[in-house]
Amino acid sequence: MTRIWTAIAAVTMGTALGSAALAGDVRIMWYSDGNEGEVMEDLVARFRADHPEINLTLENVAYQVIKEQLPIQLAAGEGPDIARITDLKKEAPHFLDLTPYLRDPDYWRENFGAQLDWMRPDRTDIIPGFMTQLTLTGGFANATLFEQAGVPLPGPEATWDEWVEAAARVAESQQLEAAIAIDRSGHRITGPMISEGAKLIGEDGMPAPLDDAARGFLTKLIGWTEDGRNLRDVWVSAAGATYRPAADEFINATVPYYYAGSWQVANLSATVGDAFDWVATGSPCGVAGCTGIPGGAALVAIRSTPNPEEVATVMEWFAQEDIVREFSERTLFLPAHKAVVEKGGLDFQTDDENARAALNAFVAATGQLTEEAQRIPAWTPASDVYAALAKRLGEAMAGELSTEDALARIDSDIAEAMTAAAQ
C-alpha cells in the first residue's frame, strides 16, 4: 500500500513540476513593428551562450496580443517573466521592482532614469525595466508623389491645415484615394490636439473635459474625413477602441501623407524600398506648438515571475550599453540609454537614405515637445482618454453621431472610466 501511495505522490509531483516554470526558466513576450524580433532572436542566442544556466525563451506575438491578452494575464497573476509593453502606466502595478536583484541599480537610474516614471506606479521609485526604444509621433510624406504633382513639401512650421491642403492637391493631381491617413488611435491625435493648445490634464491630474482647442481639432478631423481628405477606411472600418494602423495605405501610395510615429521608420525602410522617396516631417504645427507625443516600448519584468534573480540577470544583460547601442543601430530605433545618446555616433545599419534622414528628423522633433506632451507618457488616465477618442471619433466619422454628440460622449465615456477606475 505504501508503494502505491509513493507512486501516486511521485506522479503528482512530476505533473506539478512539469507544468510549472522551472528554476532558471525565463520567458520574454515580445512583439515587433519592424525587424526587432529578428535582432532579438540573435541577441537571445548570444545571451544563452553567455548564461547557459538560464533557459531564456523568446515568444514572438502580435501587438494585438500585447494590447488585449497580456493585460488579462497580468491581472490574473499569470503571463511571461518579461514583456515588451507600450501601455506602461496602466500595467505598472504588475511590474516587478528589480532594485534588490540588480548589481548596480544606480546604472539604471543614471541611464534610464528619465523614463522610469513612465513605467512606475504613481508615487513609487521602483526600477521595473527600461525603454527598448523612444518613440515620437510624427508624419511621413511621399516626396515622390509631391514632386510628381508639382506641390512643394510644406516647411517645418507648416500647420495641420497647410499639410492637409497640400496633400489634398497631391491626391487630386495623382488621383489618390485620400490626402492623409492617421492611425486609428487616440494616442496619434493627442499630439495634434496639444499643438492646437488643448489641455487634457486637469489641475487635479485627472482628465479635463475637452476644451475649445481639443474640440476645434477633433471637429476639423471629422470634417476632413467627411469630405474625403482623411482616409475614411482606417477609422470607420472598426468599432470601439480597436487599433488600426494606416501604414499599408502609405506604403501602397494610397495617400501622400501619413501620421504615425518614429517606430514606422524601419517598417517603411523595409517595405517601401526604392518604390518612392519618403520623408519624416515632424508634427504639423498648431497655435501652441508642433508637438508629437513621446513614448515607446519598454522591456519590463513581471511581478508574478517565480525567478526574479534570473529575470534580473536577463534584464541586466539586455540593458548593457553596448547591447542597447547595437539593438538601436540594427533596428533603427531611437535609444533611451543616456550614455548611448550622449556619446552619439550611432551607426544606423541601413543603406536607405530616407530612413537615415527620417531618424534625424525625429531626433530634431524631440526639441519641439511641449510641456503638456511630455507629461502624457507618465499620466495614468491617458489610455482611457485614447480609448474614448478612438471609439467616438470612429462613430462620428461613420456618420452615426454628430460631431457635438461625439464630443459630449468622449467626455462622458472618460468620466465613466474614471468612476470605474476609482472603484
State the residues that interact with other proteins by CB under 8 A.
Answer: 67-68, 71-72, 75-76, 87, 90, 177, 232-233, 236-242, 244, 252, 383-384, 386-388, 391, 394-395, 397-401, 405, 409, 413, 417, 420-421, 423
Amino acid code (one letter) for 148: Q
310/395 with CB nearer other proteins: 395
Report in angstroms how near the CB of residue 248 gets to other proteins at its nearest: 10
E strand map for 341-388? none
178/272 with CB nearer other proteins: 178
3 state DSSP class of 307: coil
210/397 with CB nearer other proteins: 397
Mutual orientation of helices 186-195 and 382-397 as an angle, nearest 10°?
90
Report in angstroms how near the CB of residue 17 gets to other proteins at its nearest: 25
Q: Where are the alpha helices (DSSP H) in 124-208?
A: 143-149, 160-174, 186-195
59/400 with CB nearer other proteins: 400
Report in angstroms how near the CB of residue 399 gets to other proteins at its nearest: 7
Report in angstroms how near the CB of residue 171 gets to other proteins at its nearest: 15
Q: Where are the alpha helices (DSSP H) in 51-81?
A: 63-64, 70-75
Report in angstroms how near the CB of residue 408 gets to other proteins at its nearest: 11
- What are 241's three cell numbers? 477602441
Q: Which residues contact 92 (CB under 8 A, 6 or more apart)?
A: 119, 120, 121, 128
3 state DSSP class of 282: strand
- What are 230's three cell numbers? 482623411
d(CA 169, CA 165): 6
Q: Which of 5, 103, 8, 34 is nearest to 261 (CA)?
A: 34
Report in angstroms how near the CB of residue 25 gets to other proteins at its nearest: 24
350/380 with CB nearer other proteins: 380
Indicate if the alpha-carbon torsion angle 113, 119, 122, 127 is positive or negative. Answer: negative
The b-or-e profile of 96-123 (16+ CB within 10 A means b, else e) is bbbeebbeeeeebeebbeebbbbbbeee
Report in angstroms how near the CB of residue 18 gets to other proteins at its nearest: 23
Which residue carries 546604472 as its cell? Answer: 107
270/398 with CB nearer other proteins: 398
Report in angstroms how near the CB of residue 186 gets to other proteins at its nearest: 9
206/288 with CB nearer other proteins: 206
Q: Which of 266, 225, 371 is nearest to 35 (CA)?
A: 266
Report in angstroms how near the CB of residue 118 gets to other proteins at its nearest: 16
User: Which DSSP category does 159 fall into?
Assistant: B
36/395 with CB nearer other proteins: 395
Mutual orientation of helices 36-50 and 308-318 as an angle, nearest 10°?
120
89/325 with CB nearer other proteins: 89
3 state DSSP class of 419: helix
Report in angstroms how near the CB of residue 100 gets to other proteins at its nearest: 26
d(CA 34, CA 296): 14
25/233 with CB nearer other proteins: 233
